[in-house]
Amino acid sequence: MNMTKILNEMLHAGVLSPGQFTILDELHRNRRFSVHWELRAAVYVGVLLVAAGVALTVRQYFAQLGDIAILGSLSAGCLGAFSYCFLKGGPYSTGEVESPDLLFDYVLLFGCTCFATAIGYVETQFDALGRLWIHYLLLSAALFFILAYRFDNRLVLSLALSTLAAWFGFQLADAFAAFHRYYRESAIAYSAVCFGLGIALYRAGIKRHFLHVYLNFAVHFLLAALVAGVFEHRFSSWHLPALALAAAAVAVYAVRSRRFLYMLYAILYGFAGANALAIRFIESTGMMFLYGIGTSVGVIWLIFHLSRKYREAA
């Protein structure tokens, strides 16, 4: 019995809907093969390479090219990309909006990188704001937020949150003489801001599908800061119970939302915190090696086991 006959029988038996039958039949006859994600990945890599090339060109040849040529080129790239997006993009909506074509999101990302490069070049060459240069980061973050919400772009939202994180860090560096003593508090404060902003916008009904971008940043910064505190202080600070509570909360959310990615975060950061405590009590190199192998194998098994459970439940 060939596959076409099997599919026809499943269609007549009601096992497959007409739409499912059409897709499976076309796949069986090699009529369609989706390379959507492969193309998106290729375009994304291409945009990153172009942006990196622009930055390296500015760095290597700014003396020969001159300020006007560099800023003119960056401005033209930025304005061209943004003009394309405003002309090509649809109207703003508080809900999810599909991109008009494959290149759209990446043209917008390219325009943002040109803007960031131009801002960095202006400050490096002309020192326009002096010690207040960090406010360029806040200006860039604000622009990226506006563009991310206007064009429903998760990549640009991630860029906005990353830029805001840099602004947080430099603000703290200006406020305190010894920045390395306070980076954990800065990361925790930034995590709280990300979480609060994401929840507030979600409850307001504005781009609710952006929530997980905010949660990813909040979870990473919070857990990384707590793990760093555990590595430094071991049992003698509040970082250990805070890490246990935060990892447990992330794991509970992963179960309730059926998102394995958050369970993976809870496992990996919890494992890192446990290692920070365990290595203090292991003196033998051989025991350290056995501990590392045994716990790593256990964690890998747990990850694969839970991932299978999540796939089965999906």
* Mean predicted lDDT score pLDDT of the chain: 81
Higher pLDDT, 82 or 8: 82
Q: How far apart are CA 143 and CA 36, in angstroms?
A: 29
308: tokens are 């299978």
Q: How far apart are CA 198 and CA 190, in angstroms?
A: 12
- pLDDT-based confidence at 214, cuts 50/70/90? very high
Task: Give me the pLDDT at residue 55, please.
Answer: 63
Per-residue 3-state assignment (H helix, E strand, C coil) for 39-64: HHHHHHHHHHHHHHHHHHHHHHHHHH
Q: Of 151, 154, 174, give the one whose Cα is nearest residue 162.
A: 154
Q: Of 137, 144, 142, give the one whose Cα is nearest residue 123.
A: 137
Task: Judge whether 257 and 250 are in contact, CB under 8 Å.
Answer: no
Q: What is the C-alpha radius of gyration for the chain, rounded to an integer number of angstroms?
A: 25
Task: Give me the pLDDT at residue 240, please.
Answer: 92
Q: Is the pLDDT of residue 288 over 90?
A: no
Burial 163-194 (b: 16+ CB within 10 A, else e): bbbebbbbbbbeeeeeeeebbbebbbbbbebb
Strand residues in 60-138 grouped as ranges (E): none
Q: Of 173, 156, 46, 144, give the one whose Cα is nearest residue 99.
A: 156
Q: How far apart are CA 189 and CA 295, in angstroms?
A: 32
Task: Give me the pLDDT at residue 203, please.
Answer: 95
Could you read off the pLDDT of 149-179 as tens digits, one per residue?
999 998 899 889 988 988 887 665 555 444 4
Amino acid at 5: K
Taking residue 233's Cβ as centre, other Cβ atoms within 10 Å add up to: 13
Domain residue ranges of the chain, discontinuous segments joined by +? 1-33, 40-175, 177-314
Could you read off the pLDDT of 47-91 as tens digits, one per residue?
556 666 666 666 666 556 667 777 888 888 899 999 999 998 888
**To which H or E segment does residue 157 belong?**
helix 154-175
- pLDDT-based confidence at 35, cuts 50/70/90? very low
Q: How far apart are CA 24 and CA 28, in angstroms?
A: 6
- Residue 234's φ and ψ, nearest 5 degrees, are 55, -120
- pLDDT-based confidence at 37, cuts 50/70/90? very low
Task: Give me the pLDDT at residue 171, please.
Answer: 61
Task: Give me the pLDDT at residue 150, please.
Answer: 94
Sign of CA dihedral 220, 226, 229, 230: negative
Q: Is the pLDDT of residue 32 over 80?
A: no
pTM of the model: 0.77
78: tokens are 């930025």
The mean per-residue pLDDT over the stretch 195-219 comes to: 94
Could you read off the pLDDT of 13-27 as tens digits, one per residue?
776 777 776 766 666
Q: Of 121, 175, 167, give the one whose Cα is nearest residue 144.
A: 167
Q: What is the DSSP letter of 30?
A: T
